[in-house]
Structure 1
Amino acid sequence: MNRPVSVALSQSVPELPTGTDWSYEVKLDGHRMIMWRTDDGVRLQARSGRDVTAAWGDLALASHHLPAGTVLDGEAVITTENGRISFEAAQARAASSPTRAHRLATQRPAHYIAFDALQLPSGDVRPRPYSERRAALLNLLAELPANTPIQAVSATTDHDTALTWHTTLHSQGVEGIVAKRATSPYRAGHTGAWQKIRHAETAKATVAGYTGTARQPQALAVRLPNGRIALSQRLTTPLATRIAPHLVPQPERAYTQGGDAYTPVSAEIIVEVVAGTTRHAVVTVVRLR
């Protein structure tokens, strides 16, 4: 299997599917990550394909316990003092320099929540059914030391249990539930084999420009799915740090439908915004795609 590898994605649905051929997993609010355990070391890959090993050194160290030839798909998460999973903490880690990331790791160690196996020492398992990949993942992780931060995601085949998780675990940083067909192989891209419901659904938006400077953007002008261009709320420092290198400013000024001035950009940048805000003047950017 060659790096980087494309990841499987899920389709948003209004309600969880029912039937005997579905399994349900909790969807955690962290950073999607592919964990590679090679013959000569470890590599951690972001959803975009970027190498993020340096930012997640604690997880890289832990993944040395995996047998060579293992490739896992999962989520890197960080919890706060009260035990809640914090996307903001994961975002700050992902945007940090190696030195700062090491310091953050000593304060708040990360956990890797694996939800699929792409490759085992025996070979590529992506064509195998999800039920077989899940069983192989559990067997693999059962051999790791008890204190390892690499764990399997919680899953159930009971629809009512999944709905209970969805309604009761939101305060702990659970975004929603992902349903996967037991017979489905692992395929990159959007397929009906993976379906999700989320508490706060997000939508894709194109960045039209920014306020502040290209090095330190304060807010983004985004083109929403309905075509309207609106100014976002002020960006968090970690998010601004991640977006800044992608901003290519144009010399002219432009204005949103609300009359807010911004500096337009030429490169196409996609971000996620909270879908519930797209009907109003205030838009919250949650992450860079």
Structure 2
Amino acid sequence: MRPMLATRGDRVFPAPPTGSAWLHEVKWDGVRALIEVTARGLVMTSRNENAITAAYPEVHGLADVLPVGTLLDGEVVAFDDGRPSFARLADRMHVRDAARAERLAVHNPVTFMAFDLLRLADDDLTGRPLVDRRAHLEELALDEAGVSVHVAPAYDDGQMLLEATRAQGLEGIVSKHRDSTYRFDHRSKDWLKYPHRARASYVVGGWRPEKGVGDRLGALLVGEPTAHGLRYRGRVGSGIAGKAAARLAELLAPLEDATNPFVDEVPRVDATGARWCRPSLVVDIAALGTTGGGRLRQPAYVGPRPDLDPEELIDHESAEQ
């Protein structure tokens, strides 16, 4: 099962919708996940259906407080001084060894912010309005369950929340229609996202060694997957050093390929000496927008996104317009 996704808000309304038909939530800077309680225990999956249960032992206790069959939707978040920190979460996302995850949980804990209840025991709630699902979710009193799970609060005033999250340096908000039903693997216009940060996910098509340091990774060559192939968006060197560079090198080593995966031209200054790779690693990049030629302006590497597949990034809606 893949979770329901939100549409970019500016494609529907230029600002968060107003009125009693909508509620608004903070857009958490984390990793989307579904949590299901089964007869064998808790099962946690990412938005592309990868098993991530071992990575987050903090939430395993939910299996002891929720009935078998219960299915939650939410986001795994790492906090730093009370604010969501994707950088801290990046150290946890790729861990699959249970013993290592237990050690990391002590010094770098995460919280699951639950914002939807899709099934309660054997009762399927996906066909009910969002307000009903949230009412059942709040009745579970997860904040008092003694595990690292909280119910994400909802607000009536979207513009107020947008301004407040901007002032606090948070990622943004999600506006949701109160009567919206839940459709797996569907991007809905009943859920609208309004992010503040100019951060997006791209696919790595190659990398360049650091000058004068042999084969040490110095910069990524990233692209945007489209219906017509991977289009080049620029070279990213900022934010890549130390542990980040070592981790990237580890992720890219098995993807090495002799063929340039980009369907458009990579400038010679970027292509010279480049090491190409199969376009399957997704990373998050922060940038000051794009140039007229579609290149990222002052891009900086944020972290890997093992929870995303390149196919998920293709904007099929724009391709059809």
Same fold (TM over 0.5): yes
Alignment correspondent of 1:194: 191
Distance 1:21 1:115, change over 3 A: same
Aligned equivalent of 1:274: 286
CA shift in 2, pair 1:158/1:276, >3 Å = same
Conserved? CA contact 1:231–1:256, under 8 Å: no
Q: Give the superposition deviation at 1:93.
A: 0.7
User: Deviation at 1:124?
Assistant: 1.8
Match among 231, 248, 254 for residue 240 of structure 1: 248
SS at match of 2:119: strand
Aligned residue among 204, 208, 227 for 1:207: 204
In the alignment, structure 1 residue 176 sits paired with structure 2 residue 172: yes
Does the 8 Å CA contact 1:31/1:91 hold for their aligned counterparts? no
TM-score between the two structures when normalised by the length of structure 2: 0.76
Deviates more, 1:13-22 or 1:269-278: 269-278
How far is the alpha carbon of 1:75 from its aligned partner? 0.9
Report matched runs for 1:60-99 at 5 Å: 60-80=60-80, 82-96=81-95, 97-99=97-99
Gaps of 5+ in 1: none
RMSD value, Cα: 3.0
Q: Map 1:127-276; keep pairs closer than 5 Å.
A: 127-140=127-140, 142=141, 145-170=144-169, 174-187=170-183, 188-212=185-209, 218-224=218-224, 227-233=231-237, 234-235=239-240, 236-237=244-245, 240=248, 243-244=251-252, 247-250=255-258, 256-257=266-267, 259-260=269-270, 261=272, 262-274=274-286, 276=288
What's the counterpart of residue 7 of structure 1?
3
Pair 1:198–1:149, CA change in 2 (3 A): same
Instruction: Quote the offset at 1:277 in angstroms.
Output: 4.3
Per-residue CA deviations over 1:152-182 (Å, capped at 9, x if unaligned) read 0011122344234323332xxx311000001
Q: Is the 8 A contact 2:46 2:52 kept in 1?
A: yes
Aligned to 1:124: 124
In the TM superposition, structure 1's runs of 4+ consecutive aligned residues that sit over 6 Å from their partners are 251-255
> Structure 2 vs 1, CA of residues 45 and 271 (structure 1 numbering), >3 Å: closer, same or farther?
same
SS in 2 for 1:117: strand
C-alpha displacement of 1:281 = 5.1
Shift of 1:73: 0.6
Query: Please, what TM-score do these two structures have when normalized by structure 1?
Result: 0.84
Structure 1 residue 8: Cα displacement: 0.9
Contact 1:206 1:271 in 2 (8 A): yes
Quick one: which amino acid aligns to residue 267 of structure 2? Q
Q: Distance in 2 between matches of 1:139 and 1:242?
A: 44
Q: 1:194 deviation in Å?
A: 0.6
Once the two structures are superposed, what CA deviation does each residue of 1:87-134 show, in whole Å capped at 9, x if it has no partner? 111111112343332211011322111011111114221111111111
Structure 1 residues 210 and 186, CA gap change in structure 2 (3 angstroms): same
